Amino acid sequence: MIKLYNHSKVQDEPIRKALTWAARMIGVPGDIYVKVTGNMYVKGKFAGLAFLGYPRVSYLQNKPRSKWTNVWCDWGNNIGFVEMAFGLQPPIAKRELNEARYFLELALHEFSHILDFRTGKHDDTPRNSAGRRIAHDKRPCELRAEDRVYNTLEAKRNRERVDELVLNLALAIEEANKV
């Protein structure tokens, strides 16, 4: 089940459909809490974040840090949280269609991390032979996530549904940008 906290101007329904489809295609069971914002940066970093358990409900409700309460969520260890933003575009993307496709790819990527967390395959600090951390793009969890995204998007049985979701999301983004 996707619990959506939408803080962007884009309508909830196209986002919810895309996120639900992405979670089903990756095979993530259980609840996933997703915070979608409209700004270009997510906690000072590009793209999205996936983590297992977040302590403050007011963070998901987009309250300013000064108004955060110290109420800890007792949702268990198996709840996944994903934070994503619109306005994220690959360097060559200039249109809503590319932004929508990138958003869908990002959702698949982050849900893949949630699946790794839940199955115990995610390694927080993989090290090379010299004891240094492996570069982000070469970590096993990142390679698995990219493989899952590629296999999901390129499967013939999914192409029509992917195109439909991307088009609906792009229309919603375009409508939100007009306002």
The residues, any chain, with a CB within 8 Å of residue 7's CB and separated by 6 or more, are: 35, 36, 37, 38, 62
Residues 168, 40: Cα–Cα separation, whole Å: 21
Please report, in tens digits, the pLDDT of each residue of the chain (179 residues total): 788 888 888 899 999 999 999 999 999 888 888 888 776 544 445 567 766 655 455 555 555 555 554 444 444 556 677 878 776 554 444 577 888 888 899 899 989 988 888 887 777 667 778 888 888 788 888 899 999 999 999 898 899 999 999 999 988 888 887 76
Amino acid at residue number 14 = P
Residues 175, 171: Cα–Cα separation, whole Å: 6
Residue 113, both tokens: 């991390």
Q: Is 73:120 a contact under the CB 8 Å cutoff? A: no
Residue 29, both tokens: 């069971």
Q: Residue with structure tokens 């493989």?
A: 147
98-105 contacts, C-beta under 8 A, 24 or more apart: 99/170, 99/173, 100/166, 100/167, 100/169, 100/170, 100/173, 101/166, 103/18, 103/169, 104/18, 104/22, 104/153, 104/162, 104/165, 104/166, 104/169, 105/149, 105/153
